[in-house]
Amino acid sequence: MEFLSEYASFLAKTLTVLVAIVAVLLVVAATRGKGRRGNGQLQVQKLNDFYKDLRERLEHSVLSKDQLKTVRKAEAKAAKQEKKAPSSKARVFVLDFDGDIKASATENLRHEVTALLSMAKADDEVVLRLESGGGMVHSYGLASSQLVRIRDAGIPLTVCVDKVAASGGYMMACIGGKILSAPFAILGSIGVVAQLPNVHRLLKKHEIDFEVLTAGEYKRTLTVFGENTEKGREKFQEDLETTHELFKGFVARYRPQLDIDAIATGEVWLGMAAQERLLVDELKTSDQYLAERAAEAELFHLHFAQKKSLQERVGLAASMALDRFVLTWLSRLNQQRFW
């Protein structure tokens, strides 16, 4: 028992020291990182090299030495001829947007678009690999505006949806001159939703008053704690309808071939059904499309990477660990339904 007591005391002291060291490091990092917010770096990867490496690795495993030698000789000859002649290949700039409810990826997207517009021409192409279930109207409005910059510059924009582009996600997708979708991707949800709890009756039951003071008749319509009125509900619904009409008008502007009233019901469709309703132009995954383009064009993947402080990296690591834990258990529970 005495040994266990001493061991527990040792662990407590060690933990205290570790916590103190981490706290000091966080303070130092916060001090050094002060004023450096917004710094980042544009990373560019030539995707042709990526596809070439995949092919060469497979060839090395499958072909005989003589076959491999013949292939390499032919490639060397083609590369030599290509160096002599000026390159006439088109350029494709590839961007990624993985959207959350706040469209946080917009911060990187705006820098990526600014960079490519500094040199892209009308005979180039921008391919956006888009994944988003939508979110806040103003956030996705700003994200969509970044894509409008590309379209207004006269540069062809192709949007690829492999999994989902719904609500705000489709608001972005519709700007593309061409929309490609995987057969079972989810698209649509052209609608507006707002929901909030109201605990006024609970507060009233416990004799708790909550005062809401406003200047302006509609400064507050629905609240969480106050007593909601029918007039406030009507105004809130009116605002939702107005936003919906603006959403419909925006989509109709960039996809005039749509029967906007028929598809702007808030419904979603899988890729095959979405194509029938003209929400997408072609059923094809981003992998297939980019592999095809790599055979005839130079592909450049652009990613603007923000520099993160130590405390942000620690927080991100903790968040990712928690996400993995939750997703693992959700996956296990879901699998049990099919056992």
Tell me which residues are annotated as active site.
167, 219
Residues 186 and 207: their CA atoms lie apart, in Å, by 47
Type of residue numbered 79: A
Q: Distances from the Cα of 312 to the Cαs of 30, 242, 282, in angstroms?
A: 10, 38, 40
Which residues fall within 8 angstroms of residue 147, CB to CB, at 6 or more apart? Answer: 113, 128, 157, 172, 175, 176
Alpha helix positions (H), the chain:
2-33, 47-62, 65-84, 106-117, 137-152, 168-173, 200-205, 230-254, 260-263, 271-276, 286-294, 310-336
Residues 153 and 156: their CA atoms lie apart, in Å, by 9
- Contact between residue 118 and residue 143 where contact means Cβ atoms under 8 Å apart: no
**217-239 b/e with 16+ CB inside 10 Å = b?**
eeeebbbeebebeeebeebbeee
- Contact between residue 147 and residue 130 where contact means Cβ atoms under 8 Å apart: no
Residues 46 and 28: their CA atoms lie apart, in Å, by 37
Helix (H, G, I), strand (E, B) or coil at 193: coil
Which residues fall within 8 angstroms of residue 231, CB to CB, at 6 or more apart? Answer: none
- Contact between residue 168 and residue 142 where contact means Cβ atoms under 8 Å apart: no
Residues 46 and 198: their CA atoms lie apart, in Å, by 53
